[in-house]
Amino acid sequence: RACIARQMDVEAYLTKTCAERIMVLDGGMGTMIQTYKFQEADFRGERFKDHPKDLKGNNDLLCFSKPDVVRLIHQQYLEAGADIIETNTFSGTTVAQADYGLEHEVFEINKRSAELAKEAAAIVTAKEPHRPRLVAGAIGPTNRTLSVSPSVENPAFRNITFDELAAAYKGQVAGLMAGGCDLLFVETIFDTLNAKAALFAIDDYFEERGEKRPPIVVSGTIVDQSGRTLSGQTGEAFYTSIAHSKPFCVGLNCALGPDLMRPFVQRMSQVAETFVHAYPNAGLPNPLSLTGYDLTPADMAVHISEWARSGFLNFVGGCCGTTPEHIKAINDAVKGIAPRKPHTHPPALRLSGLEPMAMTSDSNFANIGERCNVAGSALFKKMILENNIDRALAVARAQVDNGAQLLDFNFDDGMLDGVAMMRRFCNLVATEPDIAKVPIVIDSSKFAILEAGVQCLQGKCIVNSISLKEGEKVFIDHARRIKRYGAAVIVMAFDENGQAATEQTKVDICTRAYKILTETVGFNPHDIIFDPNILTIATGLEEHNAYALDFINAIKRIKADCPGCRISGGLSNLSFSFRGLESIREAMHSAFLFHAIKAGMDMGIVNAGNLPLYDDIDPSLLVLVEDAILNRRPDATERLLERAQLEREKKDAAKAGGVVNTPAAEAWRSLPVNERLSHSLVKGIDKFIEVDTEEARKNYPRPLNVIEGPLMAGMNIVGDLFGSGKMFLPQVIKSARVMKKAVAYLFPFMEEEKKRMIEENPDFSAKPAGTVVLATVKGDVHDIGKNIVGVVLGCNNYRVVDLGVMTPCDKILKTAIEEKADIIGLSGLITPSLDEMVTVAKEMERQGVKLPLLIGGATTSRMHTAVKIQPCFKTGTTIHVLDASRAVTVVSNLLDPTLRDDLIEDTAELYETMREEHYAAQEERRYVTLAEARSRKRVLDFTKRAPPPTFTGTKTIKNYPLEKLVSFIDWTPFFAVWELRGKYPHRGYPKIFDDPNVGPQAKITFDEAQAMLKDLIANNKLQANAVFGFWPAAAVGDDIELYDDDGKVVTTLRTLRQQAQVDVDDIPYEALSDFVAPKESGLKDHVGMFAVTAGLGLESVIKAYEEANDDYNKIMAQALADRLAEAFAECLHEEVRKVHWGYSPEEALEAADMHHIKYQGIRPAPGYPSQPDHTEKATMWSVLKASADAGIELTESLAMWPAASVSGLYFAHPDATYFSLGKICKDQVVDYAARKGQSLDEAEKWLGPTLSYDRA
């Protein structure tokens, strides 16, 4: 019999097949079992007839009592098209079987269930040996959870430990592998920590046996529209937490139907670097349905087909409520659709709490909150020793609120049971989402305490720390165990000889540890963090003077020798000599960080919120501390000690009630009010903000002007300092709180002003100027900028719908539609928000939400918007708004019909230029192979294709009335001929007449054109002819075959595909053939083409002007003929859409709407961006007969004659859009030349400007 036996074969087969097609999983085993309506006796069978406990509902036992039924269900799914079936072992652990008193049967349950599935697979594989069927061992979540307490009264309690659960999973794995499973599914994960225990057990099992692990599939469960698992993690955080296990495939199943699951599958497909699967429920539960769920097979197929075309899937199947009929429909729906290609993301240290965190080479310094450390905080230690856990949790919460990106937990104290306390505190933190959202750093010098912490955290944490001080064996053992838990690790620069103090020993120990970790242990280099020891300086001992400089200098060397690693450190040690003198210590810390971060330090245990800005350190003190830090002079310690003595005297005098003269501290209070406001914002001082805001309010006509003026100016300084690394996130948050306080103070005054305006002008409130939906995107909790924009817009009579923070994409779009919004605005502060904004743009494009999209926030930029976001929303408008003060102008212009189009066009042109500059600035533009581009082609839903045209073949129009074309003329290009260009907002016709510079001349030229146009029409000096037609068509690869009515090929149109690599995942590489139904689909589609001219007779007109040496009127006549030809193309296209093809019979567009392409379909032309090859015109002329029927000739260079002519193709699919081909590579040119029957040299000649390489 044909089967795949060896594990290596299984993985190789799956990898190969996943590159070729979407593989199909089975459906709901429980759903099918329920149709048999088994009773207690059916579950017991002979084997358990005397068992003391009820067994009804224990489906896993049916492998003993009803093996034929289980085998038959498996076989039905396989025959419906499933490639992989799961064993009937969802509850096959000792933990789950304990409810039935059957723990002792677990091995046999799993073994027998696997054997039954293998028997079914063998039967179907024998019928179809070319498509081997595989068996996956199903490992369910159990009925216990490691992250959630079963007791409301005791949130720290867990009814199972990590080790106990891992042991249960290990026993299940043993049975499944004994039964012959080809791969393992860890599925329906509602608690990621349970999954980590299962993955730990799997690795343990195979390592013990010295066997290669089979492919592992990990499947999470998003429980509702929050996008989180039951234990609170987002999908991306879930993936980050289990990625260490290197699963073959990761995805989602259960809980949701395909409609609600879609955004979460989409996100998983974007973040996962593995293959991706999904097996949703058949909609929502419905007790009246035969399967207990809403969706029929046909319903499911529609959703799954769309997922596949969107590029989300490598594997797909069904969960609850799905049957073999569902799987057959799903199999048919994905057949022929290209599978998703796994992504690779920029290298990063990826961590997670409930939410993900990624540290790339571009990330700002990360602050590790230091206050939950009994060794470093006397106050925290007191809380722990006194069992005041609520206050201790409040300390953790406050650090997150103040901007700590990670939290350090340490319970190393002789009076504490460190293991028990670490476990208790981590369990309690798991119940506090506002703390648990950030990654945790488990800190201890004892490995047992480190392990206790890691076993309680579902996210990917950092272990702090291990070292070589006990030798390589212990180091390797600890590192392997940490790796198996999936944590990152901090390695202290210690070895068998002690602590590294000098630059060279720091480098030597770290590089040695790196080599062991990467080569012996197999640690991901990006999960390695070195702490090269920040040691105390200015102690009076000469050998300590270089400690800080040695650390700074070691950073670059360690990073160069250890690619991918990160550098961290505990800052408080540096200034220990000056304990009690916070002004000295804080200045030392700020200055040290300034230099260490520039050298490459990535993170540190630091109370950044209390640090002064580097630029604000007293210059005389800065010199002293930098002399000490950088070891610039031998007497640096003595000089700093002298300053410290002065500071101590001031401090003592203050304690004794003396007067300390600190004029510099209060000098800023004498500055002008605008500068005082800016100072308060930058320093995060809220003491005087209301007083100063009131003073400023009296200086401005409107309270809003205070926000738009001095307050925004201050926040812009904050943004610049943050962007340059001179401010840390906690300091930015303090600034934001000051800003909020100022805005809150002004708000009543703005409300009073609005009330007064309504009384004076009732129409002011009768109808808002427009509705704007604002949201901070999912994953981001920062909202100060968004809130200010909301206030500013509200004060200008715009209706603002503020969705708050952490807003999912679907909620944003749903609200925008329900509220009939005019504009959507997205905000974000942290870098991951940029990816979420891309997601929103993609969804707006997919769902056809054509509202303008505004982008704002500290990490956003015009360049990022142009390069990453705007290309995802091709059919809409995306604009970056620099700050709140610009928002009103942008919104008002977008909602002004007279200004909107110019703003959109200006922005689109600017962003296109920026993209070109961005790619040109790269040393070498990257390209994908033709095969890669084709694998990521645009996939459309051809069930939405246009109906057949009213005729096939060609029709000719001669001497079309010119007067009917006048209303179709687009006059804007006419002025470009004369190099008359208005500046925004006076671009284009007719606004150009209002331009102060070119307006008067434009009006004169236009009036003269009108006079000539009337003459040309009245005296029949020009003739307009056209020929157009339609043919049955099908895409064959990158070509389009045209047929006659008998199905015979008439000609073949050749198209070219984009190859320039884009910076956004999921953006397809397009060719015009993508807009025509593929031949293999069997769907009937059509393509049209046309050629029009308005230049017949122009030669005589021009000749008369040449004889009169009248160049001005000669150019005018040529320009008008060109305008009439373009107008004829526009006019004919309208007739095609409404009559001849008739797919938009109700269309009622103005000419301006047509000029902005607001109709369905496109009419690209050879020689233009979508298909720059002019030789395709010869193919068109061969079927159009444009020379004979319309008098339009092709010259030797394939230009049209008369010159005032236009030709092109008609594509009618509603999702067809214009695109620019860009540069292409030689592999495509070789392929294209072969398809056209040209030599390579000839193809390169015609395609010269589009070649990405130099011709030989």
Residues that are catalytic: 780, 782, 833
Which residue type sits at 978?
A: W
Rounded to an integer, what distance in angstroms lies between the CA atom of residue 94 and that of residue 191?
18
Rounded to an integer, what distance in angstroms lies between the CA atom of residue 457 and that of residue 423?
9
DSSP 816-882: HHHTT-SEEEEE-SSTHHHHHHHHHHHHHHHHT--S-EEEESTT--HHHIIIIIGGG-TTS-EEE--
| Helix residue ranges, H only, 936-1070 | 972-977, 999-1018
Bridge-based pairing state of the strands 366-369 and 823-827? unpaired
Query: How many Cβ atoms from other residues are within 10 Å of residue 755's Cβ?
Result: 11
Degrees, nearest 5: CA angle 313-316-319: 140
Rounded to an integer, what distance in angstroms lies between the CA atom of residue 1156 and that of residue 1145?
19
Could you tell me the CA-to-CA distances from 255 to 188, 279, 318, 804 in Å, in that order?
9, 10, 11, 27
Could you tell me the CA-to-CA distances from 947 to 201, 603, 635, 952, 1085 in Å, in that order?
58, 61, 88, 13, 8
Rounded to an integer, what distance in angstroms lies between the CA atom of residue 501 and that of residue 543?
9
Query: How many Cβ atoms from other residues are within 10 Å of residue 179's Cβ?
Result: 24
Bridge-based pairing state of the strands 84-86 and 134-139? parallel
Rounded to an integer, what distance in angstroms lies between the CA atom of residue 565 and that of residue 530?
7
Hey, is 422 helix, strand or coil?
A: helix
Q: 468-489 burial string, b = 16+ CB within 10 Å, else e?
A: beeeeeebbebbbbbbbbbbbb
| Upper half-sphere CA count for residue 1099 (Cβ side, 13 Å) | 4
- Secondary structure letter of residue 336 according to DSSP: T
Indicate the burial class of 1109 (C-beta count within 10 angstroms; 0-12, 13-18, 19 or more).
exposed
CA-CA-CA-CA torsion for 8, 9, 10, 12, nearest 10 degrees?
90
Hey, is 1028 helix, strand or coil?
A: strand
Bridge-based pairing state of the strands 406-410 and 366-369? parallel
Rg (C-alpha) for the chain, rounded Å, is 35
- Secondary structure letter of residue 707 according to DSSP: I
Indicate the burial class of 500 (C-beta count within 10 angstroms; 0-12, 13-18, 19 or more).
buried
E strand residue ranges, 767-822:
771-776, 799-802
Residues in the chain: 1256
Degrees, nearest 5: CA angle 440-444-449: 85
Which candidate, 203, 300, 324, 199, places its Cα nearest to that of 250?
A: 199
Orientation of helix 418-429 relative to helix 389-401, angle to 10°: 60
Cβ-proximal residues to 891 (8 Å cutoff; 6+ apart), any chain: 770, 772, 793, 798, 823, 854
Cβ contact 1090:1026 at 8 Å: yes
For the chain, give percent helix, strand, coil, nearest 5: 50, 15, 35
Enclosing H/E stretch for 381: helix 378-385
Residue where the block lists tokens 């929103």:
840
